[in-house]
Amino acid sequence: MSRILFGLSLLAGLIPFVAADGLFIGCSQSYPYQDASNSFPSGSFSSATDCAAQCGGYTYSYLFYYGQCVCSNTGPSATSLTDGDEDTCAQRSSISVNIVSTTFDSTTCYSDQDFAAADFPGLYPITDPKQCLNSCANDRLAVLQSEDSAGWYSTASGLARRNAREAVAQAKRDRIFNVCPGGMTACLVPGLEKNEAWECIDTQNDMESCGGCLHGTFNNATTAVGVSCAKPGVKLGAATCAAGKCLISECKDGFKLVDSQCVVRA
């Protein structure tokens, strides 16, 4: 029976990550012994992760239940790989198979009747599990299906793609609010808007950009536009900005103060 293998990962580019040693992908009854480039690290290994850590430069690590570690660039066949975890591989006297290095951080196995096919359109053939993860590197969820015909099929799920788009949008919003220290706004510099040059301004208290940015906010066209409190008729030193609003205390000669505005006397 075919099965589904999920690989979960952080979306590259949004959160800093470090490729980890050893992503477990299943148990196997065989390993690619015919690959002449295989290497055999010395010693006995107690965990698949430790084995993978010794296989830098290789794609796969194979840990036998008795502790022998094999590093290989050849992946397991679709028919040889079964579900399980590192412990159950040892209990079955089978081989624990890991991808040596990848940004994906966990796997879950399902039978093919346990998922909604509509979420996984466009399965396409690949040669091995690592190729699946490489193909889905910009998605949060990769789906690897093994076929009884000994082939592999791969896709990034429709659900994952939708989640990825939402994550990108949220990250953009986060960048808007996080480029400046708390309480400050990234305001575009006049004349350099196209270059997205910006400066951090406290728009709640800045007299020149009171209530918002005068020339627009970095990466956000929907925020409120601020004003300068140094308006015509306002006496020098008689204007302040508080809580995003201009407060005028005195006007120049020829003006009078009306509702915190200096208007020309009639």
Listed range (97-111, 159-173, 238-252) with the worst mean pLDDT: 159-173
What's the pLDDT at 16?
Answer: 34
**Residue 41 and residue 136 share a domain:** yes
Residue 263 confidence class, pLDDT cut points 50, 70, 90: very high
**Residue 189 and residue 159 share a domain:** no
Residue 38 confidence class, pLDDT cut points 50, 70, 90: very high
102 in any annotated domain:
yes
Residue 234 confidence class, pLDDT cut points 50, 70, 90: very high
Residue 13 confidence class, pLDDT cut points 50, 70, 90: very low
**Residue 190 and residue 152 share a domain:** no
What's the pLDDT at 72?
Answer: 95
Structural domain harbouring 44: 3-164
Last residue of a domain, one of 164, 196, 228: 164
Q: What is the pLDDT of residues 237-259, one digit of tens each?
A: 899 999 999 999 999 999 999 98
Q: Which residue has the tokens 């690290």?
A: 41
**Residue 257 and residue 228 share a domain:** yes
Residue 143 confidence class, pLDDT cut points 50, 70, 90: confident
* CA 169/CA 22 separation, integer angstroms: 31
Query: What is the arithmetic mean of pLDDT over 88-113?
Result: 79
Query: What is the arithmetic mean of pLDDT over 9-38?
Result: 67
What's the pLDDT at 10?
Answer: 42
**Chain centroid to CA 104:** 11
**Residue 122 and residue 229 share a domain:** no
**Residue 110 and residue 58 share a domain:** yes
**Residue 113 and residue 192 share a domain:** no
Domain count, the chain: 2
Of 76, 53, 57, 73, nearest to 129 by C-alpha is: 76
More confident residue, 144 or 51: 51
Non-local (6+) Cβ contacts of 120 within 8 A are 143, 155, 157, 158
Q: What is the pLDDT of residues 209-221, one digit of tens each?
A: 999 998 888 777 6
* CA 86/CA 24 separation, integer angstroms: 8
More confident residue, 42 or 34: 42
**Residue 155 and residue 27 share a domain:** yes
With helix as H, strand as E and coil as C, how does 48-90 read? HHHHHHCCCCCCEEEECCCCCEEEECCCCCCCCEECCCHHHHH
171 in any annotated domain:
no
Q: Do residues 99 and 129 lie in contact, with contact meaning Cβ atoms separated by under 8 Å?
A: yes
Mean model confidence pLDDT for the chain: 77
Q: What is the pLDDT of residues 172-190, one digit of tens each?
A: 555 555 567 778 888 888 8
Which span out of 57-66, 90-99, 115-124, 193-202 was modeled with the highest average pLDDT?
A: 57-66
